[in-house]
Amino acid sequence: MILLFSFRCKRCVLALMMTICGLCVFSLYGMAVTWSAVVPLGGQQTGYDVRQKELFDNVVVAGDRVRGTVAADPGESVVQRHNRVLQNSNRDFYVKTDPSSKEERGENSLRTFENYQEATEDLKQKLRGDNSIFVDDEDQRNINGRDNFEARTKPYYGTASKLSQEYHNATKKLPEAIIIGVKKAGTRALLEFLRIHPDVRAPGPEPHFFDRNYDKGLEWYRSQMPETIPGQLTIEKTPSYFVTREVPKRVYDMSKNVKLIVVVRDPVTRAISDYTQALSKRPDIKPFEQWALLDNRTRLVNSSWGAIRIGVYPKHLEHWLKFFPLEQIHFVNGERLIGDPASEIGRVQSFLGLRQYISEKHFYLKEPRGFPCIIRNERTGRHHCLGKTKGRPHPKVNEDVIARLRDFYRPFNLKFYHMVKRKFDWR
Ligand code: A3P
């Protein structure tokens, strides 16, 4: 055929030869790309064939490959994978599986995305913390316990390779803001609400750096933080900081400019909430009333009991104000965080210097519990409510004891309002 052409036109032969060469180069390139897509990273079994457009569970493999322990062998069962994943502690993002998903029911599943674009967006959302899990201190203990099937199957840990150049440049920073307390006042809700914001990144578990892990050093602390891209703010929450004497100075030594957030709630309800949490772990503990009062005759309040002591807010705040000016501490009204989350979050966004992104459209009220849940993705309607350890029903407490506690807290509350130059509606 070439000979036939050569008779008629030499230019045609040249063009034909060039086309054939082009085709050869193109197919060599195609082979190289396919090879790179299936070759494992760093010797781990991490490769997935992009052409399948199949993404393993919630760990996205879209063109890029998942790095490290989370990359699953497709033959491995979900439970095996969860176990393996949980044995590793260095992850930089967490993905909560959808409670109604097959993973939570213990079934194996492959999540398929229609196209590369959709998968890319999904991973980006995750890397922004948009789909992060909600591991609380107590959940964390469950996870470490590893025997609890529910805990094992609940959170999904993963470290993913980044999709775009900007994520390749991501770095871990020390937090610029810390939610320092108060335990059982709504700290988890606040953090999860803030994580809706694309410019906010936070670790799921509580790092407890300044109280329990201080000797591990600042680099350890930094390593606990998620990666951020320029313009993103790193925040963590560890509610025990507020009541730990050594912490204010340690935080100051890290950064005198760090922004501090304290969620406060009526100290009586807070104490009952604290007790309810303890009761859920040890159902045989004595009733609240017996803990709260030293003895029935004198009706002296047991102020050394942690559940009571934590609610004496001015005592704890005093230590913080030795190191930080009041303007650097923002107080979130825990009651309003439930009743009107958007406006409370609006104030937090201002305090943190964030653009007003989170608004009413991100919340809806979930009955019968009556707590706000988050609408993560307006388009898909993806939503999330806090787990069952948040918003537990409280046991009935004797009215006299409640009245006694109200009397006990009243002067402290007044002092607190004075200190923060703001009033709260605690009776
Ligand atoms: P209860 O479980 O006693 O109701 P923390 O996260 O600091 O441990 O606080 C837990 C408290 O957060 C819960 O206490 C609950 O009242 C409150 N909370 C605030 N917003 C919530 C929400 N959207 N969902 C569930 N609990 C919420």
Distance 242 CA to ligand 1 centre (A): 17
Cα–Cα–Cα angle for 218, 221, 223, rounded to 5 degrees: 115
Distance 349 CA to ligand 1 centre (A): 20
Tally Cβ neighbours within 10 Å of residue 416: 24
Distance 188 CA to ligand 1 centre (A): 7
pLDDT at 206: 92
pLDDT at 401: 96
pLDDT at 383: 80
Binned average pLDDT, 10 residues per bin, the chain of 427 residues = 48 61 47 30 26 30 32 45 40 31 32 39 45 36 34 30 41 95 97 91 92 96 86 94 98 98 98 96 94 89 96 98 98 97 98 96 87 79 83 95 97 98 95
Atom 1 of ligand 1, residue of closest alpha carbon:
391
The verdict on pTM exceeding 0.85 is no
Distance 306 CA to ligand 1 centre (A): 18
Which ligand 1 atom is at minimum distance from the Cα of 385?
24
pLDDT at 402: 97
Report the b/e string of 197-236 with b at 16+ CB within 10 A.
Answer: bbbbbbbbbbbbbbbeeeeeeeeebeebbbbbbeebbbbb
The binding-site residues of ligand 1, defined as CB within 6 angstroms of any ligand atom, are: 183-189, 239, 273, 276, 337-338, 371-372, 386, 390-392
Q: Which two tokens stand for residue 186?
A: 């709504």
Distance 181 CA to ligand 1 centre (A): 13
| Ligand 1 pocket test, candidate residues 138, 184, 194, most atoms within 8 A of CB | 184
pLDDT at 219: 94
Cβ-contact 239, 182 below 8 angstroms: yes
pLDDT at 16: 63
Atom 2 of ligand 1, residue of closest alpha carbon:
391
**Alpha carbon 133 to chain centroid, angstroms:** 5
Distance 78 CA to ligand 1 centre (A): 31
